[in-house]
Amino acid sequence: MTPSSALWLSIVLGSFAQIFLKKGVTRNAKASGGYLALLRSAWVWLWAVCFFIATALWLVALSRIQLSYAFPLLSSGYVIVALLSTFFLKERISWMRWLAILVISLGIAVTWGSA
């Protein structure tokens, strides 16, 4: 696996992990059992697995890519999470938030083009 593919896979997995965590804690909030009930949530376990793999991939990427290049690209996770949130969580995102995401995307494009 190339460092670049490890970086992007880490970002995508980390983004999905956030969706899984949100689903897990939202369902737990509706149920009784407190925070320990989170340990019984498949969504929370899926988050943990994705987060662990994403972290391992991040380490692979950092071993070969400059941090000053890789770290700003992490912000592409904001864009991915916003898109996933509208699809999987049915969240409505205001035009102001989409505008902010566009600004972030421009920064990602500038950083990616600097490699």
Percent of the chain with pLDDT over 70: 94
Number of Cβ atoms within 10 Å of the Cβ of 28: 20
φ and ψ of 65, to 5 deg: -115, 145
* pTM for this entry: 0.87
Q: Look at 86 and 27; give whichever has higher pLDDT.
A: 86
The domain ranges of the chain are: 3-113
* Mean pLDDT value across the chain: 90
Q: What is the pLDDT of residues 32-59, one digit of tens each?
A: 667 777 888 899 999 999 999 999 999 9
Rounded distance between C-alpha atoms, residue 58 and residue 111, angstroms? 17
- 22 vs 44: CA distance, rounded Å: 8
